[in-house]
Amino acid sequence: EITKLGWTVLPHPPYSPDLAPSDFHLFGPLKDAIRGTRFEDDESVIQAVRTWLRAQDKSWYRQGMHALVPRWRKAVQVDGDYVEK
């Protein structure tokens, strides 16, 4: 068991996209926030994403990390097979 910055780092398979916090907690709401926006260039997209990320409260990020625990447990129970939400 490894602890970093007060968080316990849980072991998981090297390729487990269903356990990636960015996939199930970050990108869905981000897509919703910028859906329908027309961007002039890549820099405009980068700026919009940075602005949105900075606007999220610390508790929102914490919630996403805490949601990983039950998903990790499910993955362990099914021996690494795909885990539905």
Domain ranges, ordered by start, for the chain: 14-78
Confidence bin at 41 (pLDDT 50/70/90): very high
Neighbour count for residue 83 (Cβ, 10 Å) = 19
Q: Quick check: 27 pLDDT over 90?
A: no
Q: Quick check: 48 pLDDT over 80?
A: yes
Instruction: From 30, 25, 15, 7, select the one nearest 75 (Cα to Cα).
Output: 15
- Angle between helix axes 42-55 and 27-34 (nearest 10 degrees) is 120
Four-point Cα dihedral 57, 61, 63, 67, nearest 10: 160
Confidence bin at 32 (pLDDT 50/70/90): very high
pLDDT digits (tens, 9 = 90+) for 54-69: 999 999 988 888 887 7
Residue 78 is predicted with a pLDDT of 72
Residue 26 is predicted with a pLDDT of 81
